[in-house]
Amino acid sequence: MKKIKLLLKISIIFFMLGLTFYLGLYLVARYQTKLPIDSANKLYIYDGLDTLSPDLNDTWVSLKDISPNVIKATIAIEDKNFYKHSGFDFLRIIKSLYVNFKSGKTLQGASTISQQLSKNLFLSFEKTWKRKIKEAWLTIELESQYTKDEILEAYLNTINYGGIYGIEKASQYYYHKSAKDLNLAEASILVGIPKSPSNYSPIANLDNAKKRQALILDAMVKNKYISEEDKEKAYNEELTYYGNFTNDNSKTIMYYKDAVINELKSIESIPSSFLETGGLKVYTYLDVNAQSILEKSMLDNITNKDIQVAGVVMDPNNGHIIALTGGKDYSISEYNRAINAKRQMGSTLKPFLYYAALENGFTASTTFTSEKTTFVFSENKTYSPANYNDNYGNKSISMPAALAYSDNIYAVKTHLFLGEETLVNILKRVGITTKINAIPSLALGSEEMKLVEVTGAYASLANLGYRITPHLIKKVEDMNGNILYENNDDKEAVLNSSLVYIMNENLTSTYNYNFVDYNYPTCHDLAASLTHKYSIKTGTTDYDHLVFGYNPNIVVGLWSGNDDNSASNISNGTELRHMWRDIVENYLSDKETSWYEIPDNVVGVLVDPISGKVANKNTKKPTLFYYLKGTEPTFDNNLDALIPTIKEENTTKQN
């Protein structure tokens, strides 16, 4: 009996000490600098016109402007004792520890709304004791400095509803209505999303969303917020989900925001936590019109519902990314394929290979025989690349012809002739940072790279030889207007501008009907609908379709394929080319454009486009090829040559 009394006294003492310590913490926290829950970690994102973009920014609404259905559903499923505890639900913590210990798995969590808010606003999601201790202290600060309603309001305005942050934005995105007008059925679906946005989005996975809705409605019944009849009615109500903000770029605009945040994290001068800064103003290069054109072109042309698409629209002169999509619909898949996915680039690496060839003495008239070929290496290793559909000319073809048909034999012969490291070095020079292996198949794009970095590499051709860094952020300021970061648009001359000019002309062969011979140019279907002059190159693997194209004003890189690397139908490549055409043509429709001026040390010669030999009066389709002065082909037969008089200004202005 004495032992029991002693134990009871000790317990009371420890309880009182703990309570005193706990109250002391709250007293200290109360007089700390007030946590900025309405601005901490908050980004204000501006478009290229320095306008605060409504699509890229969250909308804060007061608690009175949020439907009671949302509030009750959130409390019922997330933290039923929210208005009773002081930041920590100790009984729930003990219960979850018991359940998890008994099962050997983490089946239950015990985070309160206050804890979740502190984590969302001020902390990373790393699972360390240091973070957990900091989370506990921040939770105490929140509870001591704000009312329960203020905490709940902040939580509902900052939680992730499937890449859409805040209940008002989510309500507009999923239902095209304000958060204050959400009924029970709509609210119980939305409240289920934050648990696992990719699994419980009603657009991405309606079955899972309905299962989660059922759990939430059950919790509301148990907590006496609704009746069984209310639950059944809400669960069985047919709802319409939109997955956009009712404007022209709302299915893809979040991919741009995602890329902005990704770039922001890589800038060393930006603090990893925005607690001290109280929010950031991020100025981007987003062109809302270009983003709308990108999305509309995709929706108009890509008919395969299962295939995915990524695209980058860039100013080649400085690397400004003015539009971007990492998929077809952010509400279905948040994975950003434009900046994260590494895919084989196929034949789109050939322009860099042939540029390297020009540096090493090749000309547009340099020929290799297009024929079925097996290459033999040391130790009797062999490599047998094939042309698409096993289509070979079985004759010598010029470099522009090899580009027009995307001839693999010409490419591998060039690659091996130059040495396999040559292409690797060229790709590094133009900004490819992904590790590349010097192997025979590199000429055919067998190595995996990111769409955004290859688009940046093409910018080096579009801007006549300067390496740029693709980027979305112009500058970053704190809330007081102090500049924390500003991009200087640095660029470096890495290629010979005259040789780049020649390559840019060579790449117009891909849609030039003069090259119709034993094969068709890969982009011949675009020729009739192009009103501007472009350099274009497509690429195809068993799993990927790509197209890159440009002129001095714009460079656009596109990819389509399946995330699981399953085979992609050839028709997907056709649709992607048409998407590319619609993007560039619509974007440039109201802009004055020009082609590149012919350099002083470059001459044009009329030649036979397939053989590369100087044209004569019997040449059926004489075509202009360009050369460094002194390397142009000469007349070498008995027929009268066509006299090339290419001295006129090689600039066309189009509106």
Which residue numbers are catalytic? 78, 347
Residues in Cβ contact with 81 at an 8 Å cutoff, skipping those fewer than 6 apart: 89, 91, 92, 112
- Which residue type occupies 289? N
Backbone angles phi, psi at 483, to 5 degrees: -75, 120
Q: How far is CA 589 from CA 312, 393, 531, 585, in A?
A: 19, 38, 9, 6
Rg of the chain taking only CA atoms, in angstroms: 31
Q: Quote the crossing angle between the two packed helices 350-359 and 451-462, to the nearest 10°.
A: 40
Whole-angstrom Cα distance, residue 9 to residue 29? 30
Backbone angles phi, psi at 77, to 5 degrees: -95, -30
What's the per-residue H, E or C state across 385-420?
A: CCCHHHCCCCEEECHHHHHHHCCHHHHHHHHHHHCH
499 contacts 512 by C-beta, under 8 angstroms? no
Strand partners for 536: 549
> What single-letter DSSP state applies at residue 470?
-
Question: Which residue is associated with the tokens 């109250």?
Answer: 23
Phi-psi region of 613 (alpha: psi -120 to 50; beta: other; left: phi over 0): beta
Backbone angles phi, psi at 646, to 5 degrees: -100, 75
Q: Where are the beta strands (DSSP E) in 552-612?
A: 554-561, 602-607
- Could you tell me how far CA 160 lies from the centroid of its own chain? 19
Strand partners for 471: 320
Question: Which residue is associated with the tokens 């340099």?
Answer: 366
Q: What is the DSSP string of 613-645?
A: PBPBTT-SS-EEEEEETT-S----SSSPBP---
Strand partners for 560: 309, 545
Q: What is the DSSP string of 264-315?
A: HHH-TTS-S--TTTT-EEEEE---HHHHHHHHHHHHHH---SS-EEEEEEEE
Q: Where are the beta strands (DSSP E) in 487-551?
A: 492-493, 535-540, 544-551
Whole-angstrom Cα distance, residue 14 to residue 20? 10
Whole-angstrom Cα distance, residue 230 to residue 394? 76
CA angle 211, 215, 221 (to 5 degrees): 140
- Could you tell me how far CA 624 lies from the centroid of its own chain? 38
579 contacts 538 by C-beta, under 8 angstroms? no
CA angle 58, 64, 67 (to 5 degrees): 80
